[in-house]
Structure 1
Amino acid sequence: MSFATQTLSGSKPEQYAQLVAQARALIQGEPDRVANAANLAALVYHALPDLNWVGFYFYDGAELVVGPFQGLPACVRIALDKGVCGAAARTRQTQRVADVEAFPGHIACDAASRSELVVPLVHDGELVGVFDLDSPRVNRFDEEDQQGLEAIAQAFLDALQ
């Protein structure tokens, strides 16, 4: 089966509603987290502008380990007390960072990244990992982006069994 990213149209919330619908259709009936993470990373990376990295890190019980992604090679392991991903995992709260150079302890996997949004993935009260997006543009992510990307993260979590 072939899936092509449809062109998004309308306001930003309308575009995210379309993207969430595409995400849900893409992973419908598939419980495998690696398969779904791979497809969602590709979908989001190709659908949204000004991104240089989109992917997942999975929690192995001790630290975050890189999972499926789109972009340049990434840091393989991230401690929960390091960087934006670690902060999202540790606090279980989305981290939206306008300028990563101003974030204490930021991990520069790609020197071109200037802003970041990381959504924690929590399923049945347990940390699964994080959904991480980087942009080469300062202040790339706003509240509407956060809400839309949290909805995509929720679609990923809803598919888990």
Structure 2
Amino acid sequence: MMNKLAEYELILKQVEAIASDESDIIANMANISALLFESLSDVNWVGFYRVLSDELVLGPFQGKVACIRIPLNKGVCGSAAVKAKTIRVANVHDFSGHIACDANSNSEIVVPLIINDKVVAVLDIDSPIYERFDEDDQTGLENIINLFENIIIKHGVIN
């Protein structure tokens, strides 16, 4: 069995293969969400929220029906967007202001997508397992998002 960092390296290569020649951000978000949902164990929701005006708006995702709009600085997603940094939550029930879209979610990680020093979206991943996400997950997911940021910059398209 592969260790977690090796699994993320494989996912990173797959993201590069499916996204590097595609300039449409939404299409890439859809494929990245699907790939992560299929590849990661013990997750029940994977997707993107896009920053539009002063709120987060649901983007491509895999999982149950989700909240469509999240005010900035509300919940884990809004907090990660405002702080422009990854937030890992071992127990979402202990996170002040957590927005429960799926009652089965118990832990969460949110990684901001930053272009030209501006958060344009966040990657949100939920798990029914408490303490599901550790430093290896954070490193692996941040590497994937960094690659995605570079692909977006290479294509010069932000939509």
> Fold-level match, TM-score > 0.5?
yes
Instruction: Give unmatched runs, 5+ long, in structure 1.
Output: 1-8
Instruction: Give the drift of 1:28.
Output: 1.4
Q: Give the equivalent residue in structure 1 for 2:62.
A: 70
Cα distance in 1 for partners of 2:116, 2:108 equals 26
Instruction: Name the amino acid aligned to 1:89.
Output: A
Give yes or no for the alignment of 1:115 onto 2:107.
yes
Give yes or no for the alignment of 1:86 onto 2:111.
no
Q: Give the equivalent residue in structure 2 for 1:145.
A: 137
Instruction: Tell me the SS of whatever aligns to 1:73.
Output: coil
Q: Of 27, 36, 57, which residue of structure 1 is paired with 2:49?
A: 57
Give yes or no for the alignment of 1:156 onto 2:148.
yes
Q: Give the equivalent residue in structure 2 for 1:128.
A: 120
Instruction: Tell me the SS of whatever aligns to 1:49.
Output: coil
Q: Percent identity?
A: 50
- Given the two structures, how large is their TM-score scaled by the length of structure 1? 0.93
Instruction: Give the drift of 1:18.
Output: 0.8
Q: Of 2, 5, 9, which residue of structure 2 is paired with 1:17?
A: 9
Q: Give the equivalent residue in structure 2 for 1:4.
A: none
Cα distance in 2 for partners of 1:154, 1:31 equals 16
Instruction: Give unmatched runs, 5+ long, in structure 2.
Output: none
Instruction: Give the drift of 1:51.
Output: 0.4
Query: How big is each residue's C-alpha offset from its partner over 1:56-78, in whole Å with a ceiling of 9 and x where there is no partner?
Result: 00001210000000000100000
- Given the two structures, how large is their TM-score scaled by the length of structure 2? 0.94
Instruction: Give the drift of 1:154.
Output: 1.4
Aligned length: 153
